Amino acid sequence: MLYYSFLIDSVCILYYKSAFNLTLPENNKLYPYCNLREQVKAEKMNRLSGRVAVITGGASGIGKAAVLKFAQEGARVVIWDLQTEKGKETLAEAEKISPGHDFMEVNTTQLAAVEAAAAAVVEKYGQIDILINNAGITRDATLAKMTAEQWQQVIDVNLTGVFNCAKAITPFMVEKGYGRIINTSSVVGLYGNFGQTNYVATKAGVIGMTKTWAREFGKKGILVNAVAPGFIATDMVAAMPEKVIEMMKSKTPLNRLGTPEDIANIYCFLASDEASYISGTCISVDGALSL
Ligand SMILES: NC(=O)c1ccc[n+]([C@@H]2O[C@H](COP(=O)([O-])OP(=O)(O)OC[C@H]3O[C@@H](n4cnc5c(N)ncnc54)[C@H](O)[C@@H]3O)[C@@H](O)[C@H]2O)c1
């Protein structure tokens, strides 16, 4: 029995080796074959090879997980974020995965700065294939207590920032006849949330912009989609009281908060050729919270 199992695994290994043109590690004399399986898995993960991706808010949280995922999948990643120190730390981690990424200190609320940054990326790398509009903030308060300033700050980053980045980058995508735009919405943009008038307005607005741009740019080879995360374990959620976090978990049928990687994975899928017939949609990644 053991003999047959060994034989079958050896045949599989030889098949994988020829199919994916792999070299066996020196210490791997067909056994232990699990090393090779890991290698096959790693070498198959190249879904964004040759693509240039701009990821806003890529210094931390979900954006950081996306930067690392995209680097692993063969993309050249340019991080746009306000936080220089964290951005450079993320860049250093990405460089360990694969070389050739970049960090630029960009405030997405400033159209002129965004346009200059987009032009600089194209000047350096020749193209921008993927835009992940991920930067976002919260300034929570009930309507009764929300100030005009809190309202405006969230509109500026979550809505105008998304507009600015798409406005600056789509002309380059149109020129190439190729583009993927992924806008980050939220479960609360679909269902509303107590104390988040400003945030909910922006996250619902992002879905509207996604559908509009999918119509405007579909014939030009640009696919536009939104992702609506549930509650994800990042600084944004960590800032909430423990009681609220526990309540979120208990309301989620999968009984946990999402991880930044849960969202990075869907960004990657939507940016890859596997999603080439998906546009104008909003995908919920929320552990069934929205049921
Ligand atoms: N964490 C969650 O539970 C959750 C749920 C639903 C949606 N989202 C959305 O996911 C996205 C990422 O959230 P996160 O939880 O990783 O947050 P985060 O606070 O960890 O990261 C947000 C990043 O955006 C950057 N940023 C903020 N304003 C910017 C600006 N004007 N220009 C450039 N960069 C700016 C920040 O510096 C930060 O690095 C946001 O759009 C958020 O609304 C998060």
Q: Using omega within 30 degrees of 0 as the cis cutoff, is the peptide bond preceding 32 cis?
A: yes
Q: Would you give the DSSP letter of residue 25?
A: -
Domain 47-285, classified CATH 3.30.1330.60, yes or no: no
pLDDT one-digit tens code per residue, 188-232: 999 999 999 999 999 999 999 999 999 999 999 999 999 999 999
> Can you give the residue ranges of every domain in the chain?
1-44, 47-285
Residues in the chain, overall count? 291
Ligand 1 atom nearest the C-alpha of 80 is 33
pLDDT one-digit tens code per residue, 142-182: 999 999 999 999 999 999 999 999 999 999 999 999 999 99
pLDDT one-digit tens code per residue, 105-122: 999 999 999 999 999 999
Q: What is the pLDDT of residue 15?
A: 39
Mean pLDDT across the chain: 89
Comparing 142 with 27, the larger pLDDT belongs to 142
Give the Å distance between the CA of 109 and the centre of ligand 1.
13
Ramachandran area for residue 117 (φ above 0: left; ψ -120 to 50: alpha; else beta)? alpha
Backbone angles phi, psi at 97, to 5 degrees: -80, -45
Give the Å distance between the CA of 267 and the centre of ligand 1.
14
Give the Å distance between the CA of 247 and the centre of ligand 1.
22
Which residue puts its alpha carbon closest to atom 36 of ligand 1?
A: 57
Count the Cβ atoms, other than its own, within 10 Å of residue 204. Answer: 17
Mutate to test the pocket of ligand 1, among 236, 244, 290 (most ligand atoms within 8 A of CB): 236
Count the Cβ atoms, other than its own, within 10 Å of residue 276. Answer: 9
Pocket of ligand 1 (CB under 6 A): 56-57, 59-63, 80-83, 106-109, 134-137, 157, 161, 184, 186, 229, 231-232, 234-237
d(CA 106, CA 80): 5
Q: Helices 33-44 and 2-19, interaxial angle, to 10°?
A: 30
Give the Å distance between the CA of 169 and the centre of ligand 1.
20
d(CA 229, CA 153): 21
Name beta bridge partners: 76: 52
Tokens of 47: 């879904």
Q: What is the pLDDT of residue 10?
A: 40
DSSP helix/strand/coil, 226: strand
Q: Would you give the DSSP letter of residue 259?
A: P
Which residues participate in catalysis according to the annotation?
199
The closest of 179, 200, 196 to 52, measured between CA atoms, is: 179
Q: Would you give the DSSP letter of residue 183?
A: E
